[in-house]
Amino acid sequence: MNDKILCFKIDGNDLYLQISLVHFNEIPIFFLCRDKNGVIYAVQCTDTEDLNYYVVQVNRKKYSRIVEQYTNNSRFYEFI
C-alpha cells in the first residue's frame, strides 16, 4: 500500500492510493485505493474539471481480476 498518497477521507476512513491504472491529461481517472483495514476500492473520475469521483468497494477476487486484466492489456472495464 502506498500510504504516502492520501486520496480520500470518507466517513473518517482514509483511502490511500494502491495502483493507478488509467490517466487522462496526467489526471488519474481510474485507480484502486486501500484503507488501513485492507479494504479495496475502485475509483473512477467522472468529471476531470471538477474532479468528481465514484468510489466503490470491491472484493479481493474482483481486485485480482482488475489487476490481471490491466497487466494483460485487455479490456478490464467489464469487471467493474
pLDDT at 22: 86
DSSP string over the chain: --TT-EEEEETTEEEEEEEEEEEETTEEEEEEEE-TT--EEEEEEEETTTTEEEEEEE-HHHHHHHHHHHHTTS--GGG-
- pLDDT of the chain along its 80 residues, tens only? 444 799 999 989 999 999 888 888 888 899 999 999 999 999 999 998 898 999 999 987 776 777 776 666 545 455 44
pTM of the model: 0.74
pLDDT at 39: 92
